[in-house]
């Protein structure tokens, strides 16, 4: 529904949607999984079964998770269980720096279990899904994006965006932030639309 609305809006602006190459994050789900697995094997990501409330408290006081230093083997077992849907109490986190003044760098979540999801493009194939801050930089790099335009609410996430690409040895687009744009008589916020 949202996708169709965006395409209709683009047509309203005078663009020929039928001549555009339209891609979806889900086009890259297999590659995103492969890269996440690579990060686990390199010790750059870990599976965490800490409950959400405790996790939030730990991030606030900069306390490392008990799972942060699990072996690669233990992480791979948990990761495989997450992918199969056998384990739904875990997330995958990017191991960065729990002492960072930038809260976005305190071992952010990059994958979450959603075992009963019925994705509009992939159906029930996947039991885990990448979060925006993991998928976005990788897909931008894959698809040859040269300049990323983001509203200022993402300024704190710039470092994380760049770090994901550095760790994966991928090209990083130029990033520009701008003040949020509001349109009269149009609701653009997904939160408000919901």
pLDDT digits (tens, 9 = 90+) for 68-91: 999 999 999 999 999 999 999 999
Q: What is the largest CA-CA distance in the chain?
A: 54
Q: Residue 144: which region, alpha, beta or left (left: phi > 0; alpha: psi -120 to 50)?
A: left
- Of all residues in the chain, the percent with pLDDT exceeding 90 is 84
> How many beta carbons lie within 10 A of that of residue 157, not counting itself?
20
Over residues 160-165, mean pLDDT = 97
Poorest-confidence range of 3-7, 42-46, 95-99, 110-114?
3-7
Of 124, 25, 42, 27, nearest to 83 by C-alpha is: 124
Give the angle 190-45-145 at the CA atoms, nearest 5°: 50
The predicted structure's pLDDT at residue 183? 79
Half-sphere exposure of 47 (CA within 13 A, CB side): 22
**pLDDT the model gives residue 194:** 81
């Amino acid at each position: 529904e949202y996708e169709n609305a965006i395409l209709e809006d683009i047509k309203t602006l005078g663009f020929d949607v039928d001549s555009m190459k339209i891609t979806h994050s889900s086009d890259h789900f297999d590659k995103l999984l492969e890269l996440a697995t690579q990060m686990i094997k390199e010790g750059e990501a870990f599976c965490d079964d800490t409950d959400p409330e405790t996790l939030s408290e730990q991030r606030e006081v900069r306390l490392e998770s008990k799972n942060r230093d699990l072996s690669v083997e233990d992480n791979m077992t948990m990761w495989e269980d997450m992918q199969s849907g056998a384990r739904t109490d875990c997330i995958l986190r990017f191991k960065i720096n729990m002492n960072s003044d930038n809260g976005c760098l305190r071992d952010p979540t990059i994958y979450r279990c959603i075992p009963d999801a019925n994705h509009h493009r992939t159906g029930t194939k996947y039991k885990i899904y990448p979060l925006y801050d993991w998928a976005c930089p990788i897909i931008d790099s894959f698809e040859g994006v040269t300049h990323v335009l983001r509203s200022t609410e993402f300024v704190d996430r710039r470092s994380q965006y760049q770090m994901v690409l550095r760790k994966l040895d991928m090209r990083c687009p130029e990033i520009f932030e701008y003040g949020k744009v509001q349109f009269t008589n149009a609701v653009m916020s997904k939160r408000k639309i919901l």
